[in-house]
């Protein structure tokens, strides 16, 4: 037994401790609950009574040796650390270059859009990303069998067979925020609502299952199509510059009548094409009815624009997925 104790003593003495890692390795090896010192003491039962005193003393010596070695080494390491910190106190030393982060290109674009609409008199509204069927579809005048409700396009959170209960979905557009605003307060309403939207689409350079929209809604007693056009054109000029080439063409949405879509002419490498940036229109009377606003008294316009599309146009990016990969080599180009 005494030989065994001697071996452990030698091991304790030989164990090198030069850094935090080795200090911890030492603790685990000798001082922890399953370490060699405890294991040694657990053998006390095997020792004949007349030898217990000698063996106990030897064991205690090893234990103290290990504990002292640990305490000393720990103190030394702490002092060393403190010394290193004080070396930093030399204020004349040049500092290492510091990398300052930048806003994500989508955030930058969104911030510019917010700024523009703030100038045009819109305030900001918000809504949940998990929506119920009523706000995402029904109140927006989607017929019960509309293809957008199909699982091809919509991520369902909860589906019900019971017609009394509502399906829950990841919102497929920011338009449900219109509904929430109109339920929440009386006209006049003049808001934009930026946010994430989700669609169960095949991922490709052109589409991703997640993207960003900015919804807008303006409801008052005499809102006209002319005002809608004027607002959209002002936006395009402020966002892309006064020489921007745009076109407005008729579109179709269940929640607007008439509906308009806006395209921007985009040229890159001598090649040009029209890119759709938003859908818009005059709020359909059925939508007003679903939120108890009198369509005889009020009119309004609304639109939903794609933030990712606009950011891609502005920066000449041709793959939407690059926004979501968190590759700093891409992101740091947008300082």
Query: Nearest CA to 255 among 158, 163, 141?
Result: 141
CB of 324 to ligand DAH, least distance (A): 19
Residue 37 or 140: which CB sits closer to ligand DAH?
Answer: 140
Q: Which is nearer to ligand DAH, 235 or 303 (CB)?
A: 303
If the CB atoms of residues 73 and 278 are measured against ligand DAH, the closer one turns out to be 278
Q: How far is the CB of 308 from ligand DAH (least distance, A)?
A: 12
Q: How far is the CB of 100 from ligand DAH (least distance, A)?
A: 36
User: Which residues are CB-neighbours of 217 under 8 A, at least 6 positions away?
Assistant: 177, 178, 181, 182, 189, 190, 191, 193, 283, 300, 301, 302
Which residues have a Cβ under 8 Å from the Cβ of 55 and sit 6 or more positions away? Answer: 1, 2, 5, 44, 47
Smallest separation, CB 228 to ligand DAH (Å): 9
Q: Name, in order, each residue with C-beta under 8 angstroms of 83's C-beta and a sequence gap of 6 or more.
A: none
Nearer to ligand DAH, 5 or 225 (CB): 225
Q: If you write DSSP's letter for every residue of 67-120 in order, what string do you get?
A: HHHHHHHHHHHHHHHHHHHHHTT-TTSPPPP-PPP---HHHHHHHHHHHHHHHT
Q: Which is nearer to ligand DAH, 26 or 137 (CB)?
A: 137
Q: Are 225 and 250 in contact (CB under 8 A)?
A: no
Q: Whose Cβ is closer to ligand DAH: residue 37's or residue 215's?
A: 215
Supply the minimum distance, in Å, between the C-beta of residue 211 and ligand DAH.
Answer: 10
Residue with tokens 């806006």: 262
Residues that bind ligand DAH in the complex, under the rule CB under 6 A: 173, 175, 215, 253, 256, 279-281, 302-304
The whole-angstrom separation of Cα 77 and Cα 289 is 74
What is the nearest approach in angstroms of ligand DAH to the Cβ of residue 302?
3
Q: Which residues pair with 274 in a beta bridge?
A: 265
The rounded radius of gyration (Å) of the Cα atoms in the chain is 35
């Amino acid at each position: 037994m005494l030989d065994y104790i001697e071996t452990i003593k030698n091991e304790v003495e030989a164990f090198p401790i030069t850094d935090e890692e080795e200090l911890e390795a030492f603790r685990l090896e000798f001082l922890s609950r399953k370490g060699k010192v405890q294991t040694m003491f657990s053998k006390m039962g095997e020792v004949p009574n007349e030898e217990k005193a000698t063996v106990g003393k030897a064991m205690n010596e090893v234990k103290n040796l290990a504990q002292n070695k640990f305490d000393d080494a720990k103190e030394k390491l702490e002092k060393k650390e403190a010394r290193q910190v004080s070396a930093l106190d030399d204020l004349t030393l040049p500092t290492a270059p510091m990398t300052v982060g930048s806003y994500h290109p989508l955030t930058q674009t969104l911030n510019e859009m917010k700024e523009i609409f703030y100038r045009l008199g819109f305030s900001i509204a918000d809504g949940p990303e998990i929506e119920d069927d009523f706000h995402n579809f029904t109140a927006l005048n989607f017929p019960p069998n509309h293809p957008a409700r199909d699982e091809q396009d919509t991520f369902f959170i909860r589906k019900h067979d019971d017609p009394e209960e509502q399906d829950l979905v990841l919102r497929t557009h920011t338009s449900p925020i219109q509904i929430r605003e109109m339920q929440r307060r009386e006209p006049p309403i003049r808001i934009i609502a930026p946010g994430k939207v989700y669609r169960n689409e095949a991922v490709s350079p052109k589409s991703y299952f997640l993207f960003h929209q900015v919804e807008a809604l303006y409801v008052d007693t005499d809102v006209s199509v002319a005002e809608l056009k004027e607002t959209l054109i002002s936006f395009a000029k402020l966002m892309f510059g006064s020489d921007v080439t745009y076109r407005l063409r008729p579109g179709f949405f269940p929640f607007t009548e008439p509906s308009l879509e806006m395209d921007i002419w985009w040229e890159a490498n001598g090649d040009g094409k029209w890119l759709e940036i938003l859908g818009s229109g005059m709020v359909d009377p059925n939508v007003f009815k679903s939120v108890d606003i009198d369509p005889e008294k009020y009119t309004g316009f609304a639109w939903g624009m794609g933030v990712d599309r606009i950011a891609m146009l502005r920066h000449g990016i041709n793959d939407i997925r690059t926004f979501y990969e968190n590759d700093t080599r891409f992101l740091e180009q947008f300082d």
